[in-house]
Structure 1
Amino acid sequence: MRLTYQSTRGGESGVTASMAILQGLAKDGGLFMPVEIPKLDVSFETLSGLTYQETAYEVMKLFFADFTEEELKSCISKAYDSKFDTGEIAPLAKVDGAYYLELYHGSTIAFKDMALSILPHLMTVSAKKNKADKEIVILTATSGDTGKAAMAGFADVPGTRIIVFYPKDGVSRIQELQMRTQKGDNTSVVAIRGNFDDAQTGVKRLFGNQALKEELVSKGFQLSSANSINIGRLVPQVVYYVYAYARLLANQELEQGEEINVVVPTGNFGNILAAYFAKKMGLPIKTLVCASNENKVLYDFFTTGTYDKRREFILTSSPSMDILISSNLERLIYLSTGCDGAANAAFMQELAEKGSYTITPAMREFMSDFTGGFATQKENAAAIKNIFDRAGYLIDTHTGVAAAVYKHYRASTGDTAKTVIVSTASPYKFSGSVMEAIAGSEELVGRDEFQIVDDLSRFTGTAIPAAVEEIRSAPVLHNLECDVEKMEETVKNLLGI
């Protein structure tokens, strides 16, 4: 029987993978989940001899059951090609007693490339399969990296348009320039006067606005999403965990069946949820360490069982994690209720109305694979400096959070299991914060973003990525700004409605 999808809020079931990808969000506001998480049907011995592309097929074929082998392999080959600057796609670096899974070798130097390189291809195939005759409008909120990666992926893809909203003062200068210099006649980016949660909530509100959807359909448009709420974005993220484990086996770093820990710097919860999916598929993962920055809503949740977004929003040097509403957590909540859509919907309603909810002891027990940790700004900077000083290895400010949390986790638990730390972005994407961490704030005085980039390269002896070099002199093509309450009006204007 083919695997189908259902909404986490109970309103839709029996949905094909291609339709779930095309819709993005379920009609009842829920997220699409497979009726079961399939088990890997090839041995780890076989997986250890496969390329990234071959591994991707073995994982994705299980979730995307209505894609033919030819369709899926075509999407994979178009996605994981020369746009990545390493043949391995996701190499592992053994540093200071841990394995750093480098997910930033794509064209926008962040882990979002791993999924957003393939999503446009999955979506265009899905549109054909479902005989969709409307232009697909990708509507996305970004905390910094999703926006650029999505725009790069969808730029000039026939039959699509993409509109990205980002918090005006909540991303790094490099992140902002990457988005505002993006080419493509079908791309638009808008700075929101607010934070990421404002942008994300605004986009969700647009998806839930039936009158707007009907108006767009009447004008020939269909909304979809490129955020990790889209199952076509989440499933490709499962691949790199399976690949990493297989590589460790191939390199004889692990015994067959040996358990590993995985540490993931986490904001919207999609990346660590993908690791949980990999575990449920049969990957020997012992503990999933959810690493937060000072916006530690997830740390508090795993520590207390209460999710409470009613707190100060802190702008940190790891902006992609500056999030108080972790959308993908809903999928774990849903699973922990025994896939009870009504129970999950009640928690989500409580979050929307009260700003918090508390899960049951049984649900907490269900989540015992997870543990939370957080790092302060000072601890993050210290981790970046210590790893560079000790090993000559340069990490960004999100990976720094993960490294600091891992150090504390290991010291407090005595857990010595081999550990994969997910490295989510190039240090050059956050060059000011990284330079300050390793050399001191005085090195930044009177220097603009690109002078700091050059200084970081000289100081560390590392190469500046092509993605940073190309925006150094690229013209700014997008200048739009709007208030949160004007998002619908802005979308209509951009679509000429």
Structure 2
Amino acid sequence: MDLIYRSTRDNKVSVTASKAILKGLAEDGGLFVPETVPALDRSMDELAGMSYRETAYEVMKLFLTDFTEDELKDCIAKAYDEKFDTEEIAPIKEADGAYYLELFHGATIAFKDMALSILPHLLITSAKKNQVKDEIVILTATSGDTGKAALAGFADVPGTKIVVFYPKNGVSPIQEKQMVTQKGDNTFVVGIKGNFDDAQTGVKKIFGDKALEAELAEAGFRFSSANSINIGRLVPQVVYYVYAYAKLYAAGKLAKDERLNVVVPTGNFGNILAAYYAKNMGVPIGKLICASNDNKVLYDFFATGTYDRNREFILTTSPSMDILISSNLERLIYRIAGADDAVDRELMENLSVSGKYAVTDEMKTQLTDFYGNYASEAETAAEIKEVYDKTGYVLDTHTAVASKVRRKYAAETGDGTKTMIASTASPYKFTRSVMNAIDIKYDSMSDFELVDELNRISGVAVPGAIEEIRTAPVLHDTVVEVDDMKDTVKKFLGI
């Protein structure tokens, strides 16, 4: 029997996995969640011997039940191929008393590749399964990494167009250049005069515009999303937590059923939610440690039970986490509310109107799997330097936030459980911040001089994603006000 997906804001709405992927966001503004989180039907001994692709199938078949075996395996084969620079896809490095799960070996050297390499194939397959003839318009907001990964995934994919909005002054120079040099006749990149939350809110507003939806349909288009609000993004992320635990077990780093704590640097909450789903599938994950930067809205939520975005938005050296509206948290809220759509709907309405909401004491008791903390800018830079000086291993800024929070958690709790850190980006993506943390003398170098110096001190090859943008021409230079986002999309589509 097919696993059903329901909207967090109206659980009478039920769709198959393929329809949830196609829609991206429910019409009521809710997020699609599986009616139940399926249990793994392979033992850890079996999973220990599997490749990444084999593990992906074993996990995703349980969530995407209306896909045939051939369809799903075809999507997986097309996604996890030579675009990744290692056969392992997600290798694990041990440094300074922790395991670092490197999720940045894909085409755009960030963890978003892990899901956005497969989403285009899941989406096109879903369209065929549901007899959709319209051209699919992928509309997404990015805080830096999703945009490029989505652009790379969808570039020149037949039957699709993609529009990416990013905060003009809110991403790293490397992140911006990766996006604005993107090739593909079906791609469009737009800077907005605002922050990521403005971009994300603008995209959600466009999705909810019924008049625009009718205009699109008349012109032969339909919107879908590549943001982590799309369940087709979240399910592939569950895979790498299952895979990583199995590989540590296979290598003798973990005993049978030994618990493993997981630390995830997160702003939108999707990456740590995937770890939570993996735990609920039966992976022996202990504490889920949620690491924030100075935009510590999630830390405050786990500490108090109140989510409050009414605060200063801080631009940091870990820009992919510069987020005050953590969209994927709604999926957890719905779950701890006992799948009560009325409760979820009221809380999300409070967030929309007043910018905050508070969960009940009963709901708070269901958050014991999680621990939240944060790292300041100074602590993040110091962590990069400390780990490099001690081990020679270079962390990017986001991974450094998680690494510092791991230390805070251990000091605060005395928990000696083995720990894995989700390493979400290559240090080459944030070279200036990383190199300045290691030694301020590097501040006078240009961005690409820093790339070469990072290569020299780390011994890690410069990724192809960096080499190809050294001299690439800028192909996208549109910058608009937030209020002009809808008209910009219509202009690109010619309607």
Scaled by the length of structure 2, the TM-score of the pair is: 0.99
Secondary structure of the residue that 1:157 maps to in structure 2? coil
Please say if 1:70 is aligned against 2:74. no
Q: Does 1:444 align with 2:443?
A: yes
Mapping of residues 388-427 of structure 1, within 5 Å: 388-427=388-427
Who is 1:281 aligned against?
281
Partner of 1:429: 429
What residue identity is the alignment partner of 1:320? S
Which residue is 2:95 aligned to? 95
Distance 2:213 2:492 in 1: 15
SS in 1 for 2:188: strand
Unpaired segments ≥5 residues, structure 1: none
RMSD (CA atoms)? 0.7
Assess if the C-alpha contact under 8 Å between 2:202 and 2:485 holds in 1: yes
Q: How does 1:359-370 map to 2 (within 5 A)?
A: 359-370=359-370
The answer for the alignment partner of 2:490 in structure 1 is: 492
Alignment check: 8 A CA contact 1:266 1:292 kept: yes
Aligned residue for 2:163, secondary structure, equals: strand
Could you tell me whether the CA contact under 8 Å between 1:103 and 1:111 is conserved in 2? yes
Q: Tell me if structure 2 keeps the 8 A contact 1:179–1:189.
A: yes
In the alignment, does 2:129 pair up with 1:129? yes
Cα separation, 2, equivalents of 1:13 and 1:486: 32
Q: What amino acid is aligned across from residue 314 of structure 1 in structure 2?
A: I
How far residue 465 of structure 1 moved from its aligned partner, in angstroms, is: 1.0
Residues in 1 aligned to 2:248 and 2:455: alpha-carbon distance in whole angstroms: 30
Quote the Cα distance in structure 2 between the aligned partners of 1:332 and 1:479: 37
Distance in 1 of aligned mates of 2:88 and 2:140: 29
> What's the CA shift string for 1:35-79, capped at 9, x where partnerless?
100000010000000000000000000000000000000000000
Query: How much has 1:12 moved relative to structure 2?
Result: 4.8
1:198 CA drift (Å): 0.3
* Aligned equivalent of 2:197: 197
Q: Can you list the C-alpha shifts for 1:204-245, whole angstroms capped at 9, x where unaligned?
A: 000111111111111110000000000000000000000000
Q: Deviations over 1:105-136 (max 9, x none)?
A: 00100000000000000000000000001000
Distance 1:452 1:52 in 2: 33
Note the 1:378-397 alignment, pairs <5 A.
Answer: 378-397=378-397
Please state how far the C-alpha of 1:458 moved relative to its aligned partner: 2.2
Q: Secondary structure at the match of 1:58?
A: helix
Deviates more, 1:447-456 or 1:137-146: 447-456
Q: Which residue does 1:325 correspond to in 2?
A: 325
Q: Is the 8 A contact 2:402 2:421 kept in 1?
A: yes
Q: Contact between 1:7 and 1:31, CA under 8 Å: does it hold in 2?
A: yes
Q: Distance in 2 between matches of 1:320 and 1:12?
A: 34
Distance in 2, matches of 1:383 and 1:56, equals: 33
The separation in 1 between residues aligned to 2:309 and 2:212, in whole angstroms, is: 28
Deviation at 1:470?
Answer: 0.4
Out of 448, 453, 456, the position equivalent to 2:454 is 456
Shift of 1:104: 0.2
Cα deviation for residue 475 of structure 1 reads: 1.0
| Counterpart-to-counterpart distance in 2, 1:262 and 1:198 | 30
User: What SS is found at the alignment partner of 1:81?
Assistant: coil
- Name the structure 1 match of 2:176: 176
Tell me the CA shift for residue 439 of structure 1: 1.2
Contact 1:11–1:27 under 8 Å retained in 2: no
Query: Residue 181 of structure 2 contacts residue 469 of structure 2 at CA under 8 Å; is this kept in 1?
Result: yes
SS at match of 1:14: strand
- 1:114 and 2:123 aligned: no
Distance in 2, matches of 1:430 and 1:69, equals 39
Q: Give the counterpart letter for 2:392 in structure 1.
A: G
**SS of corresponding position for 1:53:** helix
Confirm or deny: 8 A CA contact 1:11 1:28 kept in the other structure: no
CA distance in 1, matches of 2:351, 2:280: 27
Task: Letter of the 2:235 partner, please give it.
Answer: V
Indicate the larger mover: 39-48 or 448-457.
Answer: 448-457
Residue deviations 1:361-396 (CA, integer Å, cap 9, x gap):
111111110010100001101111111111110110
Matching residue's letter, 1:34: P
Q: Determine the C-alpha separation between the residues in 2 that align with 1:480 and 1:300.
A: 36
**Counterpart residue number, 2:473:** 475
Q: Distance in 1 between matches of 2:361 and 2:256?
A: 34
> How many Å separate the matches in 2 of 1:390 and 1:141?
38
Distance 1:220 1:26 in 2: 20
Partners of 2:74 and 2:454 in 1: CA distance: 39
How far apart, in 2, do the equivalents of 1:394 and 1:259 lie? 27
Q: Quote the offset at 1:257 in angstroms.
A: 0.5
Q: Which amino acid aligns with 1:463?
A: A
Looking at structure 2, the residues matched to 11 and 211 of structure 1 have their Cα atoms a distance apart, in angstroms, of: 25
SS of 1:13's partner is: strand
Is 2:145 aligned against 1:145? yes
Displacement of 1:286: 1.0
Distance in 2 (CA, whole Å) between partners of 1:455 and 1:338 is: 52
Alignment of 1:77-92 (within 5 A): 77-92=77-92
CA distance in 1, matches of 2:314, 2:12: 37
State whether residues 264 and 272 of structure 1, in contact with CA within 8 Å, keep that contact through their aligned partners in structure 2. yes
Output the CA distance in 1 between the equivalents of 2:281 and 2:400.
Answer: 29
Q: Distance in 1 between matches of 2:56 and 2:464?
A: 26
- For residues 417-466 of structure 1, give each alpha carbon's deviation from its aligned partner in whole angstroms, at most 9, with x where no partner exists: 011100000000000000001112x3212x22112212222233332111
What's the secondary structure of 2:357's corresponding residue?
strand
Find the counterpart in structure 1 of residue 14 from structure 2.
14
1:262-291: CA deviation from partner (whole Å, max 9, x where unpaired): 000011000000000000000111100000
Q: Matched residues, percent identical?
A: 65
Unaligned runs of 5+ in 2: none
The one-letter code sitting in structure 1 at the alignment partner of 2:229 is: I
CA distance in 2, matches of 1:404, 1:234: 26
Q: Which residue pairs with 1:341 in the alignment?
A: 341
The answer to whether the 8 A contact 1:384-1:396 is kept is yes
1: CA distance between counterparts of 2:377 and 2:118?
A: 34
Name the counterpart of 1:313: 313
Is the Cα contact below 8 Å between 2:7 and 2:14 reproduced in 1?
no
Instruction: Name the CA distance, whole Å, in 1 between partners of 2:209 and 2:108.
Output: 32
The one-letter amino acid paired with 2:45 is E
Where do 1:199-238 residues align within 5 Å?
Answer: 199-238=199-238
**Are the counterparts in 2 of residues 12 and 27 from structure 1 also a CA contact under 8 Å?**
no
Q: Look up the SS of the partner of 2:25 in the other structure.
A: coil
